[in-house]
Amino acid sequence: MLSKISHRYAFLLAAVFALSCTLWAQSDEVDVVVAPATHTLTITIKGTIGPILSGSDPLGLDGQSGTVTILASESLSPTKKTFTSATYELPAGAVKVKAGSYQFSTKSPSKMVVDLTSKADILTLTAAGPDGLVATDTTSLKPNSWNTGILQHPTVFKPSPQKLTAAKSADGAGSKIKYTIDSLTTVLGFSGTASNKATEDPILP
């Protein structure tokens, strides 16, 4: 009888030991798992500013070259969304603007809105610059440039690059730039190209 009990205890101890080894091994495996790499989306909008659609253009941007560069992590979630649009908040430094000799990098968060419509996929970026400047860039892309994944997180549009056609009126369709400074608001058309790419972020230890 004693012998049978001893065998049972021995079997039980062996089972506990085997389970412990398995758990230790699993714990070690979890420690070395590498998180999936994230990507940073870079959108570059460049071309010619003009014509003046409304306002007096105090910065003298009409006819000047302009470039807007946007960096957005694909891990971002929208702050607001509908069935056809998504709003993202971009951190300070995520937007660079160059218009003629006037240029700046953002020192505060910017707002990026994507609207998917039947006539165009529209990217609207609002950013604050120095001296109280607030600039809004509206980029009109081909319809279906983005899939619905853009409503979940920033992602690339296709094809890239795309030709941009300047708006013909301040409230009309097409690409344009609006800026407000010293309480004066100006709207100008914008023609050129929009391109984008997604690069893999470095994996940190």
Check residue 200 and give its pLDDT. 83
What is the full DSSP assignment across 113-177? Answer: EEEE-SS-EEEEEEEE-GGG-EEEEEEEEPTTSS-GGGGTS----SSSSEEE-B-SSTTSSSBEE
User: Long-range contacts of range 127-135, CB-CB < 8 Å, 24 or more positions apart?
Assistant: 127/95, 127/97, 129/97, 129/104, 130/104, 131/181, 132/181, 132/182, 133/104, 133/179, 133/180, 133/181, 134/179, 134/180, 134/181, 135/97, 135/177, 135/178, 135/179
What pTM was estimated for this model as a whole? 0.80
Inter-residue contact 47 to 191 (CB < 8 Å): yes
- Rounded distance, CA 20 to CA 46, Å? 61
Burial of 43 (0-12, 13-18, 19+ CB in 10 A): buried
Average pLDDT per run of 10 along the chain, which is 205 residues long? Answer: 45 43 40 59 98 97 98 96 98 96 95 98 97 97 97 97 98 97 97 95 55
Q: Give the model's pLDDT for residue 29.
A: 42
Handedness of CA 165, 194, 136, 67 (dihedral sign): negative
How far, in Å, CA of 80 to CA of 92, rounded?
Answer: 19
